[in-house]
Chains A and B, each alone.
Chain A
Amino acid sequence: MKILEYEAKTILKDYGIPIPKGFTASSLKDIKEDIVKEIGFPLIVKVQIPISGRGKAGGILKANNIKELLNVVSKLLGSIIRGIRVAKVLIEECMDVRKEYYVAFTIDHSLRKAVFLASTEGGIDIEETIKEKPHLLHKIPIDPFIGLKDYEVRNVAYKLGIPKNLIRQFIWIVKAMFKVFDDFDAELVEVNPLALTDNGLWALDARIIIDDNSLFRQKDKLAKYISEEVFRGITAGEKRAEALGLSYVELDGNVGVIGNGAGLTMATMDLIGLHGMKPACFLDIGGGASRARVKEAVTMLLENPKIKAIFMNIFGGITRCDEVALGVIEALEECELRKPLVIRIKGTRDVEARKILKQHGVKAFEDIEAALLELRSILVS
């Protein structure tokens, strides 16, 4: 789960990391003149959406006086940036930055370890810079049982050339970030930039991603920081699927794809692509899906106006094909919308399944190629 910048900053602040003075606004009413006065102009207004590259997309603007501030905020609130509607902005003091560092903790899938990343080249172009000059990135793998060692952070501080009087503060900030990473089961804790000012080091931007699998033990702690109403980059359809326990991702095409198991569903999307058609979604009903679950999955795609036809690929192991067939029939009979549906179904009790489906006029195949050809002829006609 992606945590928005202002939420992430509140977490960092609670761990003692210096962040700029600021407040959030969901409407112009949230802008209180006394608070603005206390912080002082110029101010930076930043849209709170869960994507990177907000600055380049026009989501971060400066305001030099109250008139500009009201203008900028009303312009940004409600606007659409990279397909996401802006519901909230963060208004912060503008700091005089002498240098920007990059500091992050994440999980390196190749090393199978958490890593501490740091670079002198902080800022919005960090990715391009590191691509060209990989030696400017310091990467420290972390032992899962010992954690981050003090000397490792100290050595990185020297390598980055952190001013002598700020080395202690740097170590302190990095260790606090690691504590956040550890305490919150994070996949990412990133401060970019960590800004050097005349007044020490400051976390000017922050990004935190929490591992969804850890929410069972993080939910209570997170409730203090997370506002539910804020959009987190998933579509309404994806939200509905999540509630049903289905794995669902929307794509650009017009063929709704349902499979059992992530690998088989992905392979089915690839086959549809190879046959010159475009998948509209990835919908994995998982292992051992019940009739009710299948019905919900099919109904969801029937109700999605982007989808012109549904293609199902089921290889029943734990999943019983006859259960799947009954779920499909129930969905088709109870939903008022009609759409062509082609199903390739094989495995446990597949003969029964195809019989049931054919009795109800559903095109059911054992062979995947035949099923794909049928789908193509439907879409062409």
Chain B
Amino acid sequence: MVVLAHENRYVLVQGITGREGSFHTKLMLEYGTKIVAGVTPGKGGLKVHGVPVYNSVEDALREHPEINSSIVFVPAPFALDAIYEAIDYGIDLIVVITEHIPLHDELKLIHYAKKHGVTVVGPNTSGIISPGICKIGIMPTTAFKKGNVGIISRSGTLTYEVANSLVKAGFGQSTAIGIGGDPITGLTLFEAAMLFEEDGDTKAIVVIGEIGGVMEEHLAEAYAKGKITKPIVAYVAGKHAVPGKRMGHAGAIIMMGLGTYESKINAFKKAGILVARTPYEIPSLLSKVV
């Protein structure tokens, strides 16, 4: 088994007629992803790379009741509405590629999805790939190979880089999940790690974190408590980055010293998670535990 992007995913592309939507529909089709329909309001009746386009999710589902996943390329001002639409019509996995979605919209979409038991991956993600099986995303497929390491990442290009260096060292991937680069995301690092924990084909997990937020600390806490038992190798980008803009006093009061590079590295080390100093150190650390 793989996680999220398995062979029974029938995918709807929201925003299929846009430049990115149409380009990546083609690449996903070439990879073998079962893209069955697209939606762009006002463009119903068109075809994009042979995929029928509908005006609404309702119309798409009427013609293709097998749809169970959506990938969203809709521009930021309209993304929240598109995601509401997908949730309201019962799609249970929504991968949001769109970047620059307003934070207040993200709060709404995350909680609406949660209330309806829907998994949102992203926003601002490069998507999910189970090498050789299914890709719901925009990543270059050549960097990935089938195997038994699960990758969870907050960064797009860094994922390709790491996957590529893993492949060179002989480690393929069960699934690679980009959870998205925004400060708040739907699927969290911890939730993604739990998916891999429960997946029979995944033997170890690689986590690519970033400074900011507290998802790395939460994951470390869960690992220390034994909720995750599979070996984890982690890398955190941003040791030399400037700390993000200060949110008045409120930011400091809420974070209580968490969210920094040191906080994340210390949390991982304390929990017994192996920490790579560079992305290129990950394969050698991984060979110690697999």
Contacts and interface: CB of A to CB of B under 8 A. Distances in A.
Interface in B101-144: 101-104, 107-108, 110-112, 138-140, 142-143
A356 interface: no
A267 interface: yes
A130 B155 CA distance: 33
B102 A211 contact: yes
B103 to A, nearest CB: 5
B248 interface: yes
Interface residues of B, number: 60
Contacts of B235: 267
Contacts of B213: 109-110
Contacts of B104: 114, 144, 182, 185, 211, 214
A144 B161 CA distance: 37
Contacts of A316: 140
Contacts of B111: 112-113, 143-145
B41 to A, nearest CB: 19
B263 interface: no
Interface in A34-78: 51-52
Choose among B143, B155, B159, B250 the residue with the greatest number of A CB atoms under 10 Å from its CB. Answer: B250
A188 B280 contact: no
A263 interface: yes
Given A52-B246, A263-B155, A270 B184 contact: no
A20 B158 CA distance: 50
Nearest to A257: B240
Interface stretch (A271-279, A325-333, A357-365): A271-279
Contact of B248 (A107, A190, A260, A282): A190
A268 B181 CA distance: 17
Interface residues on chain A, size class:
35 or more
A250 B112 CA distance: 38
A190 B253 CA distance: 12
Given A113-B107, A213-B100, A263 B248 contact: no
Interface string A172-210: 000000000010010110101000000000000001010
B250 A282 contact: no
Nearest to A317: B140
A92 B160 CA distance: 55
B196 to A, nearest CB: 20
B288 interface: no
A97 interface: no
B251 interface: yes
A269 interface: yes
Nearest to A134: B256
Given A316-B140, A369-B280, A261 B110 contact: no
Interface of A is mostly: mixed
Contacts of B237: 263, 266-267, 270
B145 to A, nearest CB: 15
Interface in A270-329: 270-274, 279, 282, 287, 315-318
A106 B251 contact: yes
A188 B181 CA distance: 20
B278 A216 contact: no
B50 interface: no
B84 to A, nearest CB: 12
Contacts of A131: 256
Interface of B: 76-77, 100-104, 107-108, 110-112, 138-140, 142-143, 153-161, 164, 181, 183-184, 208, 210-214, 218, 235, 237-242, 245-254, 256, 259, 277-280
Given A106-B250, A144-B107, A251-B242, 4 more contacts: A214-B104, A264-B157, A269-B239, A315-B157
